[in-house]
Structure 1
Amino acid sequence: MKSSLLAFNDKGIYCKQADVYLDPWRPVKNAIITHGHSDHSRWGHQNYITHHTNVPIIRHRLGEINVTAKEWNETFVINNVKFSLHPAGHIFGSAQVRVEHLGEVWVFTGDYKTEDDGIAVPYEVVKCNTFITENTFGLPAFKWTPQAEVMTDINNWWAENRAEGKTSILFGYSLGKAQRLLKYLDTNIGTIYTHGAIENMTNVLRPMIDLPPTTLVTRETKKEDLSGSIVLAPPSAHGSTWIRKMTPFVTGSASGWMAFRGARRRRAIDKGFVLSDHCDWYSLLDSIKATGAEKIICTHGYSDIFSKYLREIGYDARTEKTQYEGDEGETADLETAATSEI
């Protein structure tokens, strides 16, 4: 019986022929990393391989690791297995991994989205036999509004809050979402302040992305300075003592989970903006069809529901368990809230 080119085990997604793991969640000798979010790029591997734009990101998070940088579509061969990295469109530096051996081609998407956000290199369709896809938002209820419309809503919300003398606090995870928001905030409205976690990550990315100026919130920052401004902060800052000096303030969150009112209530958010760095249901289906793959492996998210639907429409689809947790650890509790409304 022919063995799979890639197998799922207790350490991650494994290519035995090359002795290489893809986004492993336990320490291994050789790891190909798709992107910089902490559930996909973990500390402890002996050797890291990733796209060169992701190198400063994972070094910022993991320290002085042993890492080899690759270009887009650059083929590198390990023990007769061909690998290459292709844009995933998820966040800046995010990649899909193409794996080829003896005429068989697999693609591991990591996390991905097909909407061009103007920051990440846009998603590239990669033809394959087997496609490993995330299902973070793998329900028909998830259908995204175009980014330009969402950003117009955010800027209007900020302007309204400013007119009322309130500080706008907008939550988004520090890598990816924060920079996407920052790029399209209207600096004519006021000053953009940042939480330290976002400021530090943004400074890592500034040499590679054109972003507007920001001001770090410090102990010396005065309440009157923040009035009418917008503050970008990670979800973990919500409810902390850090935001007390910003009173009166209004909170907003930019996330795919904001499609459900229950998710907003659970996080005690005043305003939800539906903006995701993942595919919606329809983009997932379009992506799968475009690859021409016969076999689909569904991982984190609504994998059971999504794979069942794929089988109903004729795909050879199955699920596999992983330890990918979602961006900045926010997925688990919000998924629970969202499911309660389905």
Structure 2
Amino acid sequence: MPLIEFSEKGLYCRAGGFYIDPWRPVERALITHAHSDHSRPGSKYYLAHHDSIPIMQARLGPHQFQGTAYGETTYINGVRVSFHPAGHIIGSAQIRVEYEGEVWVLSGDYKTENDGISGAFEPVKCHHFVTESTFGLPIYNWKPQAEIYRSMQEWIAKNKALGKSSIFIAYSLGKAQRLLQPLSEVSERILVHGAVYNMHMALVNAGHKLPPVERVTPDTPKEHLKGAVVIAPGSAEGTSWIRRFAPAAIGICSGWMQVRGNTRRKNADAGFALSDHADWKGLIEACTATGAEHVYATHGFQAAFSRYLTEKGIDAREVITEYGSDEDAGPTPTEEEPPQTNEEAS
């Protein structure tokens, strides 16, 4: 019996009596990060990195949460567990599980470029490595984020010259926080949708230092909307909330924008291939750095990525899970934002 089983409720450690990122309610859940496809309500006990707890509280409501630090060892029924930086979003972690000499690392989602706010990805040696494969094709090869930020800043300047607002469509947890520093360098005011504001305040109230934002409400002065720099979730596209900024240009921030034509298909004015996931090279580097003899590819291009690893001499296989992608060009409202109040919807 392997230490980690791929069960109908999620990744299960029978020896420890716990699940990692379960997609059904369970007794004890260990959570890699606070995105809602990995952190779901209904379980009795949750263990996650300290920085994930305030986000989970904001998204899941009252539950029994316990925080842990990176590198801190916890024993659960004799099984040794520790959390290590994944670099995906604030609080994201890879979970190392060890029992009777067998070591597994369950990575959740991760990226290998240090974004400056999410912690640097840390390869962890193991026998078995469970990896995402969201962008597990060679076409996905990210530019350095500094280069992408410069193109965003230049786009804002061009829009200002044309008298247009610059609206960035970005995931409310992760991507939105990354955008704040580069956007604040060229704009005194950053306006945000309620979903982005809720995540922002959960992090700020927990002690994270982020550039200030202004939540858009029906009372926001009209002069603040003209030529504004705005961050909004995908669910706001095509709504009255976004139309109030007209004339405006819309730029989508997603790894899917790497593929030529996706920007046009989304009826956007610009596409920025900024991702919170590892690209093709990053996935390969991460899997290789673990020294794992066995690799399990989950959500994404599992078949192609596991086939490539197998050809390179690594025992790799694809695993079907119920994890989704926070990189979806049009995330669902339940994934992207809490229920709207009348104020946010107006």
Q: Under a length normalisation based on structure 2, what TM-score does the superposition of the two structures give?
A: 0.93
Paired residue for 1:113, among 111, 114, 128? Answer: 111
Shift in alpha-carbon separation, 1:319–1:256, aligned structure 2, 3 A: same
For residues 186 and 251 of structure 2, the distance between their equivalents in structure 1, rounded to whole angstroms, comes to 20
Q: Which residue pairs with 2:325 in the alignment?
A: 326
Q: Which residue pairs with 2:217 in the alignment?
A: 218
Shift in alpha-carbon separation, 1:332–1:162, aligned structure 2, 3 A: closer
Q: Which residue pairs with 1:245 in the alignment?
A: 244
**Superposed displacement of residue 122, structure 1:** 0.8
Q: Which residue pairs with 1:14 in the alignment?
A: 12
Q: Which residue pairs with 1:264 in the alignment?
A: 263
For residues 142 and 193 of structure 1, the distance between their equivalents in structure 2, rounded to whole angstroms, comes to 30
Residue type at the aligned position of 2:48: T
**Superposed displacement of residue 71, structure 1:** 1.1
* Alpha-carbon contact 2:193-2:232 (below 8 Å) kept: yes
Q: Which residue pairs with 2:158 in the alignment?
A: 160
**Superposed displacement of residue 215, structure 1:** 1.1
For residues 134 and 330 of structure 1, the distance between their equivalents in structure 2, rounded to whole angstroms, comes to 18
Paired residue for 1:138, among 115, 136, 139? Answer: 136
For residues 150 and 217 of structure 1, the distance between their equivalents in structure 2, rounded to whole angstroms, comes to 26
Q: CA offsets, 1:260-317, max 9 Å, x none?
A: 1332223221100010000000011111111111100000000000001111111101
**Superposed displacement of residue 189, structure 1:** 3.3
Q: Which residue pairs with 2:23 in the alignment?
A: 25
For residues 327 and 115 of structure 2, the distance between their equivalents in structure 1, rounded to whole angstroms, comes to 19
* Alpha-carbon contact 2:184-2:211 (below 8 Å) kept: no
For residues 192 and 186 of structure 1, the distance between their equivalents in structure 2, rounded to whole angstroms, comes to 7
1:285 equivalenced with 2:318 (yes/no): no
For residues 36 and 197 of structure 1, the distance between their equivalents in structure 2, rounded to whole angstroms, comes to 15
* Alpha-carbon contact 2:80-2:98 (below 8 Å) kept: yes
| 2:200 aligned counterpart, secondary structure | helix
**Superposed displacement of residue 331, structure 1:** 7.6
1:148 equivalenced with 2:146 (yes/no): yes
**Superposed displacement of residue 245, structure 1:** 1.1
Paired residue for 1:126, among 124, 142, 150? Answer: 124
**Superposed displacement of residue 176, structure 1:** 0.5
For residues 293 and 255 of structure 2, the distance between their equivalents in structure 1, rounded to whole angstroms, comes to 29
Q: Which residue pairs with 1:337 in the alignment?
A: none
Q: Under a length normalisation based on structure 1, what TM-score does the superposition of the two structures give?
A: 0.94
Paired residue for 1:87, among 85, 88, 91? Answer: 85
For residues 134 and 172 of structure 1, the distance between their equivalents in structure 2, rounded to whole angstroms, comes to 21
Structure 1 stretch 210-219 or stretch 148-157: which is displaced more? 210-219
| 1:261 aligned counterpart, secondary structure | coil
Matches within 5 A, 1:42-53: 42-53=40-51
| 1:84 aligned counterpart, secondary structure | strand
**Structure 1 stretches lacking a partner, 5+ long:** 334-342
**Superposed displacement of residue 205, structure 1:** 1.1
Q: CA offsets, 1:220-275, max 9 Å, x none?
A: 22443211211100011011111111110000011101101332223221100010
Matches within 5 A, 1:156-195: 156-195=154-193
Shift in alpha-carbon separation, 1:110–1:317, aligned structure 2, 3 A: same
For residues 310 and 208 of structure 1, the distance between their equivalents in structure 2, rounded to whole angstroms, comes to 41
Residue type at the aligned position of 1:235: G
| Identity level (%) | 51
Residue type at the aligned position of 1:64: P
Count of paired positions: 331
* Alpha-carbon contact 1:159-1:189 (below 8 Å) kept: no
**Superposed displacement of residue 329, structure 1:** 5.2
**Structure 2 stretches lacking a partner, 5+ long:** 333-346
Shift in alpha-carbon separation, 1:307–1:201, aligned structure 2, 3 A: same
